[in-house]
Chains A and B, each alone.
Chain A
């Protein structure tokens, strides 16, 4: 994956939080993670096909997703489906927006929504995983980009 591709996702993360919540996120320096993936409470995985192969996933803890739901106007206690849906929408939006720079050959799937740390979750083999750490309103999350 080229540096320019990574910049697209870094700016996508910033743009998402700034536009959707009017409060910018702090996006930390990306790094390559060669350890087994550590997922937070909810994760949404977007499969990538076409001119690119791999996946993009967003993983976040419950408090961040609850805050996002509140910003979206959701009232009352958030159930697991809503929290997973919120993670899915973040992953889908950032990935979809990336097509603006990566082009229509960057084909995205519908999000697969995961809860916890499923034993069978694995990143694509032989593809480096770039982790983009995110802090927003005191909550930690990550966007992980695995692209070939």
Chain B
């Protein structure tokens, strides 16, 4: 069965861009959330196998979301998609449980490659 995807980003433009890039073929279902608090609410009833996670968001930031989601469902795989280019942020995200980091701005090809890496591992 195809995995489910949860897209978390406070920009509706980025949420739509990710959904368009990944299309309908890789996932059985795609849902999205516009901030960290909404993401955690959605995740409790929709524990997606794959998550794309922004970091700088209102209410609850992406790093905290990563940690909570991995505690709730350790087998979920999280790709952080963020503009924050410092190494410390990437290391912290990975330490909390993310498995990939894609820097904005990204092309659809770069996103697909990063997601395929998560799906294949």
Interface residues on A, range: 20 to 34
How distant is A141 from chain B, measured CB to nearest CB, in Å?
A: 16
Which residues does chain B contribute within 8 Å of A96, judged by CB atoms?
A: 56, 82-85, 104
Tell whether, in the assembled complex, residue B85 and residue A85 are in contact, meaning their CB atoms are under 8 Å apart: no
Which residues does chain A contribute within 8 Å of B105, judged by CB atoms?
A: 16, 19-20, 93
In the complex, identify which listed stretch (B11-19, B25-33, B64-72, B93-101) lies at the interface while the others stay far away: B11-19
Given known contacts A19-B107, A20-B105, A73-B20, is B13 in contact with A108 (CB within 8 Å)? no
Query: In the complex, which of the residues B14, B85, B107 has the most CB atoms of chain A within 10 Å of its own CB atom?
Result: B85
Q: Does A32 contact B (CB under 8 A)?
A: no
Rounded to whole angstroms, the CA-CA distance of A86 and B16 in the bound complex is 12
Given known contacts A19-B107, A82-B12, A100-B85, is B58 in contact with A72 (CB within 8 Å)? no
> Which residues between 69 and 117 of chain B lie within 8 Å of chain A, taking CB atoms?
82-86, 88-89, 103-105, 107-108
Rounded to whole angstroms, the CA-CA distance of A72 and B21 in the bound complex is 10
Tell whether, in the assembled complex, residue A110 and residue B56 are in contact, meaning their CB atoms are under 8 Å apart: yes
Which residues does chain B contribute within 8 Å of A41, judged by CB atoms?
A: none
If over half of A's interface residues share one DSSP class (helix, strand or loop), that class is named, otherwise mixed; here it is helix
Tell whether, in the assembled complex, residue B12 and residue A85 are in contact, meaning their CB atoms are under 8 Å apart: yes
Nearest A residue (CB) for B85: A100
Rounded to whole angstroms, the CA-CA distance of A123 and B89 in the bound complex is 28
How distant is A66 from chain B, measured CB to nearest CB, in Å?
A: 12
Rounded to whole angstroms, the CA-CA distance of A72 and B85 in the bound complex is 21
* The one of A74, A95, A99 that contacts B16, using a Cβ cutoff of 8 Å: A74
Which residues does chain A contribute within 8 Å of B104, judged by CB atoms?
A: 89, 92-93, 96-97
How distant is A20 from chain B, measured CB to nearest CB, in Å?
A: 4
Given known contacts A96-B56, A96-B104, is B11 in contact with A89 (CB within 8 Å)? yes
* The one of B10, B11, B83, B107 that contacts A95, using a Cβ cutoff of 8 Å: B83
How distant is A58 from chain B, measured CB to nearest CB, in Å?
A: 13
* The one of A86, A95, A97, A110 that contacts B13, using a Cβ cutoff of 8 Å: A86
Which B residues contact A (CB, under 8 angstroms)? Answer: 10-14, 16-17, 20, 56-58, 82-86, 88-89, 103-105, 107-108
Which A residues contact B (CB, under 8 angstroms)? Answer: 16, 19-20, 69, 72-74, 81-82, 85-86, 88-89, 92-100, 103-104, 106, 108-110
